[in-house]
Amino acid sequence: MQQKNNTTAIVIIAGLFFIFGFVTWINGALIPFMKTINELTESQSYLVATASYISFVVMALPASYILEKIGYKKGMSLGLIIMAIGALVFIPAAEARTYWVFLAGIFIQGIGMTILQTAANPYITILGPIESGAKRIAIMGIANKVAGALGSLIFGALLLSGIDETKEKLAGATLEEKNVLLDTMADSVFMPYVVMAIALFLLGILIRKAPLPQVEAAEEPVLEEGKTAKTSIFQFPNLWLGVIALFVYVGAEVIAGDTIIAYGISLGFTGEEAKFFTTYTLMAMVATYALGVLLIPKYVKQKTALIASAVLGIVFSFCILSTTGFTSVLFVAALGIANALVWPAIWPLTLDGLGKFTKTGSALLIMAISGGAIIPPLYGRIVDANKHELIANGIQEADAIATASTESYWILIPCYAIILFFAIWGHKIKNWSK
């Protein structure tokens, strides 16, 4: 009966991962879309990622407090309803074609996702043995990335269809004609986000009725004098090193998924061609997640999977820098292979042994998702700086953008180096003195 309950719970939580995968990975299509309708620079356009992921800093600890009060199930329901409210904000944002209103809607959805993730990730981690935690999270990853691929394709088709023709018309349009073109383009978000809001509201209500078993993390062993071995989260160095590793990982993952469409366009691919590129990254992740489900923990340890992922990330990053054109795009997509098992491995390696501090540790890990708010815009700023320098040196603007976009992927290398450190040494440091 317990096995049956756990299987049902895994299916339900996988459905939740599907939902926030769909919502999260449409950013790849939103970034070039927002850049066009709001006439933004590269770094400004990546504020889409910032608005989405900065919410994890703002809301992770409050989300942990909320979950302590209302429990995992009600927390998941609340997260879905807040995400629905965020989707509705896109309607006035499209009407006004005002960038900060769009960002507000994305931020509100991010708050909902923070609550949802703060509940769902530790729940699935402690639903079974900690040794197979990466396997269960890999199953969640498959649901998440399949949804992301679908979301990227659907929203790519809805938002980026005709973007190249619109850009050509904008080049020779008067101010009045330009406003009409951009207003028409902005209106294309109306129906998708209305449908999304309705679906999220309904799911938020339905999850309250879902048969999810009550789970809690195992308590820390009790010492002879009756006190727990650890009295503060600051006594877990592996937790803090895991937070840093997850921070740089999310930044690297978001760069791989959210910049690839804009990168393809900078290399000369049309919007119609580039809209599929995020899907390449996500399908690479799905295939590697499937391998993780089959191999972990029976054949491959979580630690080994994490080491291999970090090494592949470094190798693929150097390959991006050393190639051009579609080959370089494929190496960005190949980062999906390197990224897939990082999240599933870091969570159980970090939460192992936290006992009563698991919810707080989970909140800190969720805060680390803010790496997606900081590292991608930093990539955008580096692209802008490199582009201006190349143009000042006499390079044509199109060539300067392409070169700057490629060369700026160096930012990934230190990210994967930090993950490698955690995989080999960091997760084993249980006391600061060791």
DSSP assignment of 106-143, as one string?
HHHHHHHHHHHHHHHHHHHHSSS-GGGHHHHHHHHHHH
Mean pLDDT of the chain: 86
Q: Which single residue is written with the structure tokens 């992922």? A: 309
pLDDT at 347: 85
Does 66 have pLDDT greater than 50?
yes
| ∠ CA 17-141-238, rounded to 5° | 105
SS (H, E, C) 377-389: HHHHHHHHHHHHH
Question: Which pLDDT tens digit goes with each residue over 95-144?
Answer: 888 899 999 999 999 999 988 888 887 778 777 776 677 778 778 888 88
User: Quick one: which H or E segment has residue 151?
Assistant: helix 133-160
| 418 contact partners, CB below 8 Å, separation of at least 6 | 244, 245, 248
- Band (264; pLDDT cuts 50, 70, 90): very high
Contacts of 257 (CB under 8 A, 6+ apart): 25, 27, 28, 148, 278, 281, 282, 336
Long-range contacts, stretch 272-278, CB < 8 angstroms, 24+ apart: 272/160, 272/161, 272/164, 274/32, 274/160, 275/29, 275/152, 275/153, 275/156, 275/157, 275/160, 276/153, 276/156, 277/28, 277/329, 277/332, 277/333, 278/25, 278/28, 278/29, 278/148, 278/149, 278/152, 278/156
Residues 352, 43: Cα–Cα separation, whole Å: 38
Residue 151 has pLDDT above 70, yes or no: yes
Do 23 and 109 touch, CB atoms closer than 8 A? yes
What average pLDDT score do residues 285-298 get?
85
User: pLDDT (tens digit, 9 = 90+) per residue, 179-201?
Assistant: 888 888 888 888 999 999 999 99
Q: What pLDDT does 81 receive?
A: 95
Sign of CA dihedral 194, 279, 321, 264: negative
Per-residue confidence (pLDDT) for residue 222, from 0 to 100? 47
Alpha helices per DSSP H over 354-409: 358-367, 371-392, 397-407
pTM of the model: 0.76
Q: Which residue has the tokens 């009790």?
A: 222
Q: Compute the distance between CA of residue 304 and CA of residue 312 in angstroms, rounded to an integer.
A: 12
Distance CA 353, CA 356 (A): 9
For the segment 167-180, the average pLDDT, to the nearest whole number, is 85
- Amino acid code (one letter) for 102: F
- Cα-to-chain-centroid distance, residue 397: 31
* Percent of the chain with pLDDT strictly greater than 90: 38
